[in-house]
Amino acid sequence: MVNFLNELIFGFVFMMPAFFANAVPVFIGGFGRIDGGLNFFDGKPLLGKNKTIGGLLSAVISGGMAGIALYYFFPNIWGSFPIWLGFLEGFGAMIGDAFGSFLKRRINLKPGGPFPIMDQIGFIVFSFLVVWPFVGINWLWFGLVTLAALVLHVAANIFAYKMGWKDVWW
């Protein structure tokens, strides 16, 4: 019998670097746009002005540092994975993040505009996929962590709405 709570916690700890990597660029970005201001064939920005090189770097570095910390603090989960895996998780998270922006620009969503589901889980899904060739993939962790990220996001938004911090509940 699978212990779902246990697996959720393990999966969450495993994906910690990706969560870090996704959060840090909000505070540390800049140094120009990743797309260099280029447009796609449709004449619209490739990724847009909010995807910066500084954000990409801070994501990879913070993900990597989180991975190194986890390697020592959670050896029962992380000890069996390479110590550099956090850097790759952070990179994968930013690939997903950039892919989301790419799609958003194609459908005329302004940088910062909401793209439900993709905004919440794109970075995790891509992070899992990018590390897959190196350390394999645990589909149970994949499913549970992705679902948890979605549920946590919605719960946090409803909480912020109830507190009067946001005008809408979503």
If you write DSSP's letter for every residue of 16-80 in order, what string do you get? HHHHHHHHGGGTS--SSBTTTT-B-TTSSBSS-TT-BHHHHHHHHHHHHHHHHHHHHH-HHHHTT
Task: Report how far residue 68's alpha carbon sits from residue 84's, in angstroms, rounded to the nearest whole number.
Answer: 7
Residues contacting residue 140 through CB under 8 Å, at least 6 positions apart:
2, 7, 11
Q: What minimum distance in Å lies between the beta carbon of 13 and ligand CTP?
A: 23
Tell me the closest approach of the beta carbon of residue 72 to ligand CTP, in angstroms. 28
Residues 111-150 touching ligand CTP, rule: CB under 6 A, are 111-113
* Closest approach of ligand CTP to the CB of residue 125, in Å: 14
- Which residue stretch of 36-44, 51-59, 126-134, 157-165 sits at the interface with ligand CTP (rule: CB under 6 A)? 51-59
From residue 20 to residue 49, the character string flagging contacts with ligand CTP as x (rule: CB under 6 A) and all else as - is -----xx--x------------------x-
Per CB under 6 A, the list member of 71, 87, 100, 130 interacting with ligand CTP is 100
Rounded to whole angstroms, the Cα distance separating 73 from 54 reads 28
Q: Which range in 62-70, 107-115, 133-141, 146-154 contacts ligand CTP by CB under 6 A?
A: 107-115
Show the tokens assigned to 130: 């990018």
> Which positions ≥6 away from 109 have C-beta within 8 Å?
115
Give the binding site for ligand CTP (CB under 6 A): 25-26, 29, 48, 50-52, 55-56, 94, 97, 100-101, 104, 111-113
